[in-house]
Structure 1
Amino acid sequence: MFFSVARLRLSILSALIFAHSFAQAHENTLFTSSVSYCSPPESLLIQQFDIAYIEKNTSVVFNVSAASVLPDIRVSANIFLNVYGMQPINISLDLCSVLGGALCPLPTYNFTGSDSIRLPSSIDVASRIPAIAYKIPDLEAFAQLTLTDVNTGKVRACVQATLSNGWSTRQTAVGRSTGGLTLAALVSAVAQSHAVGSLAPVRFMDLFYLLQTIAASGLLGLNYPSVFRAFTINFSWALGLFIQSPESSMQRSINSLRAHTGGNVAGDDDGGNPISLVNRKLSPFNVPASLLSLGNGTASPLEDMQILAQVATVTEDSSNVLQAGIPIYANTAGVVTANAFMTVFLSWLIFVAIVLGALALGFAVVLALRRTSRSKETCDRIVMAYPSWARAWCLRASLASVFPILIFVFWQWTLKDSWVAILFSVFALLAISALILPSFYFLFRQTRGFKEEVSSRQLEPITAPYRTSRSYTGILFVVAILVKAAITAFGHTHGFLQAILILVTETLLLGSIIVLRPHHTRGADVLSVFLGIVRMICAGLLVAFATSLRLAPIPRVVIGCILTVIFSITVVVMFINILVNMGLFRLMKYALCFGRHREGRRLGSKSSSLDSLESGKKGLDEKNVDTSMTPASSYLFKRPANPSPTHTPTSTSLPSPLTAGSAVPSMFTHSTEDSTLGEMLPRRWSFQHSRPPSGSTSSAASPNGGAFSLFTGSPQTPSSTLGTPRQHRLSMSVEGHHIDETRP
């Protein structure tokens, strides 16, 4: 016992020490994350350019590989630092006056070296860099080195290097955790979908559409802050864009296919970091307009040298610049712009194969159980219900994949690249339409214009979330998806218009949900309205990222952080909702209150045993009751709440005389409140001539001579009702005919 506790303490202490060392491992550091030429190189060629600044000891660590190829070049250097549009550092140096003139003129040889140099106190870099630059995720900062000929004023070299501090909202753990929890929600939905009206499949679809909305919000032609773009990349898997390397087997196969079918793959293998190829008007560069003129120089023949394979030249007129929207998003995920559709298409084919394989395997398991199980009837019912259940899940899979398929099909049509890719895009559009559109047609037919309830299980993905009279609400969501996909793909050059149209679409969709209130419960309506409000607010905030508005970098970053927080909270809310539907909280409550439940079961068993004894006593008492009674007396026995009258009912006068051919009434109600009359008349009737009234019958004659009376031989008492068989006589005179029935 002592040794186990000691080992536990030692493990806890080791974990605390490791966590402390891990927290201290992240120093306040700025380092280069990408390098590119901002002007065609003429005298300076760069193969590697890694520089890091460490705040703790104000030192610079570098690893540089460069070469100067033109003789007698005397240049001055300008070092420029841009952080969120601010310029804390802008220094010009005459290289002939530093290092004893060793760099004047530039030496014509390759230079490769790495070292760590502590900056002198005269170069006060620490005071010029704000402390938040070391902590804010996805820092938007870059350093630019410009070499200018002191004789002619011509730019000989221009290099830009983006900076990073190591913090980012793009985390592999986020994508894996959300994917794992989504898979758990899928398993729960499949397990509970056998029950009619189960909420688990509905909530799974809501969650998946939310993740797709987050990912698709980074596809517009807007100037996103880097923090929000990196956050949306975490959910790219929901669109079928899985993070991969440009050198992966899938990307190489797609490149080969496009190259043999008319595709342009000339710029696909550019070895630069996607960040280095971003348009200089967009984040993370936010270059002032005065610096864009550096790219107007003429290209040098030296660009064809192999030494430039790792560094791309990005100027204002470059053809390899990544524009806002899908190009930056796809390349950040490791997918070339022209390969985006084919990547999503192949992912969709794999997804379809998995769905069909799982459904086939499930059917095989059901058939195997049918042969081995003893309950043949239950297995037969499962086998008969399985096709409808499988078609319902095929429809859910189609609804889950329609958004990314439409976006990238329309996007492929704007590229005009490979004819095979265009052919596959048409095939994908027809296939997804054939899976979804007939379901809405059958829904319209079976509900007779959305007026009747549909009983088909295969239409549950459309009808289950909504009331019968509001089952057309699913059409509104599909139309909204179609509109958003078309806006995203076809309007990529007009980011401001894209954001406005998507905001209008989300507003109309939210308004329809509020007005229609289509769900079965108020809680479902509240959740749907909550998700609609989130989508509308986030779409409104995206308008601020329009390039034409020219919003300052810091406000854009703040809005991006707000969007990140809103989407994150919404995802957490949806996961909690799904866990509740899975019954996890009920299981925890049962586990925590296990002792009380056992106590309650013991008390309940005692009370149930007492109840059984009491009911047994009542059963013995009821055995003494004579059951030989007429139907009328049995009715009195079943309705003890209606006591027997203390006097003999005489008669009930009809409101009007009965004429020949009139229908015989079937229900009669006595005027006395204590009477038990008003039940169905006996079925056996006898018709005979009327008898003259006798003194023994207390009948009330009607003014027209016809009379209806219900009487018994003696007043009803409990003893006579339950124990003595008696006769009930019904008589009625109808214009010379007497209707009489006597029942033993």
Structure 2
Amino acid sequence: MTPRVNLPHFRDPEYAFLCHEPVLGCGTVPNLADRIGSRVFPFQICAFLTHHSRPRISPSHLFNAAVRSHSRRSFPIFNDARSIRHIRLSYARHISAPRVTRYALIMMWQSCLTLGLLTLLSSASAERLLRSNSLDSCQKDSSFSASLFNVVYTPDNNTIFAQLSAMSTVNDYIIAEIVLDVYGYQAVHQNFDPCTLEDMKATICPLTVGKLPPRFNFRVGDSVSKQIPGIAYAFPDLDAKVRVHIRSTRTDETLACVEAKFSNDKTVDLVGVKWATAAVTLVGLIASALMSGVGYTNAAAHLGASTLSLFAYFQAQAMVGLSGVPLPPAAQAWTQNFVWSLGLIRIGFMQTIFTWYQRSTGGDAAGLLDNALGASVQVMKRSLDPAAGGLQKRSNVVLDTGAYVVYGIQRVGYKAHIETTNIVMTSIVFSAFLVLVSALFVYLARLILNFCVKRGWVKDTRFPELRGGGWRMLLKGITLRMLLAVFPAIAIFCFWEFAQADSAAIVVLCVFLLFGSMLVLGVAAVRIITIGRNSKAVHRSAAYQLFSNQEYLQIWGFLYVPFRATAYYYILPLLVHTVVKAAIIAFGQHNGVAQAICLIIVEAVALAAASLLRPWMAKSINVLNIAICSVNFVNAIFLFLLTNKFDAPGLLVGVVGILIFLVNAIFSLILLLLVIISSIMAFWRKNPDDRYRAMDDDRVMFWKSRTSMVPSMVATQELEALAATARGAKDSQEGSHRIESPPLTPTIGARPGSRRVDSPALNERSSSVHDSVRDEQYAAPRAPWKRGNRDSGMTE
């Protein structure tokens, strides 16, 4: 797709010396007016400027004039390969034209270099401007409407440039009542008579029936710029709107009401934030995997739990942006930084494939991005008007004026430059891609590690599970872990596809993907709960079978390792919470108030459960997750306030939008620093496990760090002593068959380092238990720290 180039600034009078007409600017040059806002090659722009300019113009004149121009920001940076290819093809066509002279070619290249320098300069410019790209009607049966509306106001030279496609049914002299609101604060309120300006007398004085001129510019008085506060030009993602009531000068009747939202071209939706958050998450996961591979199990568990909690919080922020509640620009832009965690990543050729697949399976592509070239797209920042009723099934909201309105999930897709009918495919394909890449990474890591061990570069005691025969179990575990990470995205967009029905094939794909994922994760969760209950009934602790069985740890360990041994069941409530929240986000797009109330209830239940049960494995992890649940609950309250159900003052709604950005930005920064520091300390310390205190449950008696396999015998001797004491006949069966995993005893429930209390009733209970389940104990899986005979008295 050829880049779109906007050239409204060439109508500025400061460019008059470039054109044959010294007053009206380049808009009067043949064919240039038709090229403004159309798809043209950047090299053709340079050539056109050269051939239609004065013969003695220098690049310095062009540069100086462009710097003085108010719209120099509209030059895009053509840095992609396709644009460069178009430039080369255009250059080949131009050099073959007979009317191009050597002097013209030199000037053409100089002009292109000048425009490139101008683009880099404009990106760092502190130019003040206000821009609007959509016009909304705020009155039923309005006599004025516009399907295309692009307006730029620059206070430095008090000029307004307008490019629009508008229709008027008024034939009268008018007066406009202008109201400017900035974050709910009324900054300007005045009446404006267009007949007082010479530039507008021939345009809308009087306002006539029919289409308005497509382009015009005019100057306003200095008093307008003085009334606009400085924050309107400085704060990113400005929340400002201008409401204009058009009244007849004869009858004082309100003929029309229009509303335009303005921005200042500053935003917090930054590519750097997206890459930084993704990189920190990836580093945390890799560090956790490395710590687990070298044997620091405690450090790996803490770091992995913290990183996955951080990733879940990023997904929760993205869900705020997906909600159907009208969001202020700052909240929209900030939540847009985290949509990558839900798989919404735009790649050009993939979008083409998705569009082809949808059309070939009976669907109808939306084409919203293409239609945006000729019609305004309104990003909804308030509730839908009744005028937007009777809309299309796919919720591509088209007003009577021909303008489009996007909100909720469509709003996120549009701002990410993804067609609304490609959102589902983009998310599920990237989610599946992440799972497959993780599995491929494990297999390649195994091959590389075996090669390094053969070369002597890595000790053969490192990564035993990955190098040994248990790598298949490890592969299954990592695949299921990645499936759990992307499950929120799968649930949200598959539920949404059931309501959208982009094509029959995509619906069928979502059915298999959603219910297949729910079945796999649900069966795994129920299996863990069953094993934990059986272990608790037989061995009086759920930790015995869950942490002594290497197969359980490798395949399903991610479901219960982050929690206390007594809270092994907590993964099932988390899955239910994810499914319910996804359904609310997907099916509540058309009712923001109901959606916000349901989210408050769901997040309140999650916060209460996390605060009362405190199910995670350590105090620090509990504090971290309770804080995340608290912020999610506050975000749900903010969403309800943004619905403005109780007609709160506009300033309150504006402040809430800023608070969503500030609260989540500060909290995200804190979490990122915590994960970064934890990852650094894991590699900095000689023994990372020493940084974390022993867990409060009894998992350590069955799940021993592999760092102590070879050098230490103390832990093994202590466990053997505990096992012998539990059988009631210490060292009485020397030389006989012994169990491989340390059996659970009533004394094991004590924490490490605590004093054991002997009880005859307890010993009798222990003896009867071990007599009844001795055969089961013999067949129990081998503990991870017992790889062979530790002494001559132990036999297989």
Name the TM-score class by shorter chain: 0.5 to 0.7
Deviates more, 1:263-272 or 1:465-474: 263-272
State the one-letter code of the partner of 1:577.
Answer: L
8 Å Cα contact 2:326-2:383 kept in structure 1: no
Q: Which runs of 5+ in 1 are unaligned?
A: 1-20, 297-311, 591-665, 668-678, 681-744
Pick from 460, 471, 479: which aligns with 2:557?
460
8 Å Cα contact 2:144-2:168 kept in structure 1: yes
**Take 2:516 and 2:269, find their aligned partners in 1: how far apart are those partners?**
34
Q: 1:448 to 1:77 in 2, by over 3 A?
A: same
What's the offset of the Cα at 1:352?
2.4
1:233 corresponds to 2:336: yes
- Aligned with 1:192: secondary structure? helix
1:404 corresponds to 2:404: no
State the one-letter code of the partner of 1:510.
Answer: L
Pick from 7, 13, 26: which aligns with 2:126?
26
- Equivalent residue number for residue 430 of structure 1: 515
Q: 1:588 to 1:125 in 2, by over 3 A?
A: farther
Pick from 315, 321, 329: which aligns with 2:412?
329
- Aligned with 1:549: secondary structure? coil
What's the offset of the Cα at 1:105?
6.4
Deviates more, 1:261-270 or 1:341-350: 261-270
- Equivalent residue number for residue 362 of structure 2: 262
**Take 2:681 and 2:461, find their aligned partners in 1: how far apart are those partners?**
32
What's the offset of the Cα at 1:586?
7.9
- Equivalent residue number for residue 533 of structure 2: 448
- Equivalent residue number for residue 321 of structure 2: 218
Pick from 520, 524, 543: which aligns with 2:640?
543
- Aligned with 1:335: secondary structure? coil
- Equivalent residue number for residue 351 of structure 2: 251
- Equivalent residue number for residue 125 of structure 1: 224
What's the offset of the Cα at 1:379?
7.9
Q: 1:256 to 1:533 in 2, by over 3 A?
A: same
What's the offset of the Cα at 1:426?
0.9
**Take 1:224 and 1:411, find their aligned partners in 2: how far apart are those partners?**
20
State the one-letter code of the partner of 2:490.
Answer: I
8 Å Cα contact 2:644-2:653 kept in structure 1: no
| 1:142-197 CA distance string (max 9 Å, x none) | 34678788899999998754311233222222112112222221221221232334
8 Å Cα contact 2:377-2:404 kept in structure 1: yes
1:183 corresponds to 2:286: no
**Take 2:461 and 2:265, find their aligned partners in 1: how far apart are those partners?**
63
What's the offset of the Cα at 1:132?
2.7
- Equivalent residue number for residue 785 of structure 2: none
Q: 1:564 to 1:147 in 2, by over 3 A?
A: closer
- Aligned with 1:78: secondary structure? strand
**Take 2:611 and 2:533, find their aligned partners in 1: how far apart are those partners?**
25
Q: Pairwise mapping of residues 99-498 of structure 1 onto structure 2 (< 5 A)?
A: 102-103=202-203, 117=219, 119-120=220-221, 124-143=223-242, 161-194=260-293, 195=295, 196-197=297-298, 198=300, 199-243=302-346, 248-265=348-365, 268-269=368-369, 271-272=371-372, 276-278=376-378, 282-283=380-381, 315=399, 321-322=404-405, 324-369=407-452, 371-373=454-456, 382-449=467-534, 451=536, 452-453=542-543, 454=546, 455=549, 456-457=552-553, 458-498=555-595
**Take 1:512 and 1:66, find their aligned partners in 2: how far apart are those partners?**
55
What's the offset of the Cα at 1:22?
9.9
Pick from 64, 78, 98: which aligns with 2:176?
78
Q: 1:526 to 1:67 in 2, by over 3 A?
A: closer
**Take 2:415 and 2:462, find their aligned partners in 1: how far apart are those partners?**
52
What's the offset of the Cα at 1:227?
1.3
Deviates more, 1:204-213 or 1:194-203: 194-203
8 Å Cα contact 1:258-1:265 kept in structure 2: yes
State the one-letter code of the partner of 1:520.
Answer: M
Q: 1:98 to 1:147 in 2, by over 3 A?
A: farther
Q: 1:526 to 1:135 in 2, by over 3 A?
A: same
- Aligned with 1:447: secondary structure? helix
Deviates more, 1:351-360 or 1:540-549: 540-549
- Equivalent residue number for residue 557 of structure 1: 654
What is the percentage of aligned positions where both structures have the same residue?
22
- Aligned with 2:262: secondary structure? strand
| 1:374-424 CA distance string (max 9 Å, x none) | 976878763223223222211220111010110111011111331011011
- Aligned with 2:325: secondary structure? coil
- Aligned with 1:51: secondary structure? strand
Q: 1:392 to 1:135 in 2, by over 3 A?
A: same
**Take 1:449 and 1:474, find their aligned partners in 2: how far apart are those partners?**
17
What's the offset of the Cα at 1:210?
0.8
- Equivalent residue number for residue 154 of structure 2: 53
8 Å Cα contact 1:268-1:336 kept in structure 2: yes
Q: 1:355 to 1:544 in 2, by over 3 A?
A: same
**Take 2:679 and 2:450, find their aligned partners in 1: how far apart are those partners?**
28
Deviates more, 1:532-541 or 1:27-36: 27-36
8 Å Cα contact 2:406-2:414 kept in structure 1: no
What's the offset of the Cα at 1:339?
2.3
What's the offset of the Cα at 1:323?
5.2
8 Å Cα contact 1:241-1:344 kept in structure 2: yes
**Which structure shows the bigger proportion of residues in helix conformation?**
2
**Which structure shows the bigger proportion of residues in strand conformation?**
1
8 Å Cα contact 1:545-1:551 kept in structure 2: no
8 Å Cα contact 1:450-1:470 kept in structure 2: no
What's the offset of the Cα at 1:537?
2.5
- Aligned with 2:371: secondary structure? coil
**Take 2:375 and 2:342, find their aligned partners in 1: how far apart are those partners?**
21
1:579 corresponds to 2:676: yes
- Equivalent residue number for residue 598 of structure 2: 501
| 1:661-689 CA distance string (max 9 Å, x none) | xxxxx99xxxxxxxxxxx99xxxxxxxxx
**Take 1:323 and 1:115, find their aligned partners in 2: how far apart are those partners?**
29
**Take 1:77 and 1:467, find their aligned partners in 2: how far apart are those partners?**
70
State the one-letter code of the partner of 1:53.
Answer: T
- Aligned with 2:283: secondary structure? helix
Q: Please give the root-mean-square deviation of Cα atoms over the aligned residues, in Å.
A: 4.3
Q: 1:496 to 1:368 in 2, by over 3 A?
A: same
Q: 1:146 to 1:188 in 2, by over 3 A?
A: same
8 Å Cα contact 2:133-2:149 kept in structure 1: no
**Take 2:621 and 2:463, find their aligned partners in 1: how far apart are those partners?**
34
- Equivalent residue number for residue 696 of structure 1: none
What's the offset of the Cα at 1:343?
1.4
8 Å Cα contact 2:178-2:242 kept in structure 1: yes
| 1:13-50 CA distance string (max 9 Å, x none) | xxxxxxxx999942443233445788999999887744
State the one-letter code of the partner of 1:342.
Answer: M
- Aligned with 2:276: secondary structure? helix
8 Å Cα contact 2:522-2:572 kept in structure 1: no
- Aligned with 1:217: secondary structure? helix
**Take 1:203 and 1:148, find their aligned partners in 2: how far apart are those partners?**
60
| 1:242-282 CA distance string (max 9 Å, x none) | 256xxx33333323332333323356355328995337xx5
- Aligned with 1:322: secondary structure? strand
What's the offset of the Cα at 1:545?
1.7
State the one-letter code of the partner of 2:334.
Answer: F
Q: Which runs of 5+ in 2 are unaligned?
A: 1-120, 390-395, 537-541, 688-728, 733-796
If the length of structure 1 is used for normalisation, what is the TM-score? 0.63
State the one-letter code of the partner of 2:358.
Answer: R
| 1:634-679 CA distance string (max 9 Å, x none) | xxxxxxxxxxxxxxxxxxxxxxxxxxxxxxxx99xxxxxxxxxxx9
State the one-letter code of the partner of 2:449.
Answer: V
**Take 2:238 and 2:531, find their aligned partners in 1: how far apart are those partners?**
56
State the one-letter code of the partner of 1:559.
Answer: V
**Take 2:529 and 2:231, find their aligned partners in 1: how far apart are those partners?**
58
